[in-house]
Amino acid sequence: MRGITHNTNMRPRIVLDTSVLISALRSRQGASFRLLSLIDENKFEFVLSVPLVIEYEAVAKRLAGEFGLSAVDIDDFLDYLCRVGRHQKIHFLWRPHLHDPDDDMVLELAVESESRYLISHNLKDFSKVGRFGIQALSPAEFLRVIGEIS
């Protein structure tokens, strides 16, 4: 296993678990929505991969009716994320390390992109990411890290 050297860029590099995306679509009141609203402000570098975008799409479209959104709305939102995010190809598979293969996919992206943070509402699912030098945080915890909330 190779060692992790995080980017030395001033902006922390992050991977967003699907739970954060769905939470942001559900409500404009919470930390998830606040975090996504900061993507254009260069406070962090948001990383994504083709498999993660496919998961975002599948889950968001399945739940779109709950949010009052159409499939076209979801497509537009994902197109935006793809435009502003840093695209990362996955060359190594680090499986299995976590209980859920979808969570392993998120971890693989964080490892391959040398992300410092993995943002999720399901922190228990990512309890083992520390061995890769990655910190799993909730959206609110990450907003504190970047000074957006106290």
40-53 pLDDT, tens digit each: 898 999 999 999 99
Compute CA 133 distance to the chain's CA centroid, rounded to the nearest angstrom.
16
CA distance 25 to 74: 9
CB 34 within 8 A of CB 118: no
Q: What is the per-residue pLDDT for 3?
A: 45
Tens digit of pLDDT for each residue in 17-46?
A: 999 999 999 999 999 999 999 998 989 999
* CA torsion through residues 45, 38, 116, 130, sign: negative
CA distance 60 to 21: 8
Cis peptide leading into residue 96 (ω within 30°): yes
Tens digit of pLDDT for each residue in 76-127?
A: 999 999 999 999 998 766 555 555 556 678 888 998 999 999 999 989 888 8
Q: Report pTM.
A: 0.87
Residue whose entry in the numeric block shows the structure tokens 């993507």: 39
Q: Which domains does the chain have, with CATH numbers?
A: 13-145 (3.40.50.1010)
